[in-house]
Amino acid sequence: YRAWASEMKLLLYREGTYHMVFNPPAQPWTPDIHNLHIKALTTLLMSMDTELQMTYSPDDTAAEIWNNLRQIYHPVSIESTCLKLSDFHSVRLKPGQKIGEHLTMMKNTRKELAERGYQIDDYQMISIVTSSLNHE
């Protein structure tokens, strides 16, 4: 699922339909917005097996389908959240790794933890980032 989700995010972004899945505007939609949604929906559905496609209603939005797939194939448990949090606090900048790449990874992990219900405020984030840097 994770590989599929990463590839789909890139494809949706390239097609200009990413926001229709992850931040759709309120309905009713204009014809242009509706067309963007149809494009995003079609992209999602065409990436699935036929049996899986058949489980969704024509009335489902691309965002609803994405969220449903995430809940089914990437369930969140207390244990996995604790493990992710532990890894987050112990991550270190690797020798030769670019700082921008390191910070992007940390921001993405913070966002994922927030989606799981574990908020990390700015002061905590500064402390975690500072601790992750090599002090040599």
pLDDT at res. 7: 92
Distance CA 53, CA 34 (A): 20
- Residues 86, 48 within the same domain: no
Do the beta carbons of residue 111 and residue 84 sit within 8 Å? no
Residue 124's domain spans which residues?
A: 78-132
Residue recorded with tokens 């204009």: 30
Give the tens place of pLDDT for each residue, 19-56. 999 989 998 999 999 999 999 999 999 999 999 989 99
Which helix (H) or strand (E) element contains residue 22? helix 18-22
Pick 77 or 88 by higher pLDDT.
Answer: 88
Are 88 and 111 members of one domain? yes
- Report the candidate in 19, 69, 22 with the shortest Cα–Cα distance to residue 45: 69
Domain shared by 88 and 50, yes or no: no
So what's the pLDDT on residue 45?
Answer: 94
Q: What is the pTM of this model?
A: 0.57
Q: Are residues 59 and 87 in the same domain?
A: no
- Distance CA(20)–CA(62), nearest Å, equals 7
Shared-domain flag, residues 59 and 92:
no
Q: What is the pLDDT of residues 79-136, one digit of tens each?
A: 888 988 999 999 999 888 899 989 999 999 999 899 888 999 999 999 999 999 976 6
Same-domain check for residues 67 and 105: no
Query: What is the spatial distance between Cα 24 and Cα 28, in angstroms, rounded to a whole number?
Result: 11
Work out how many domains the chain is built from and give that number: 2
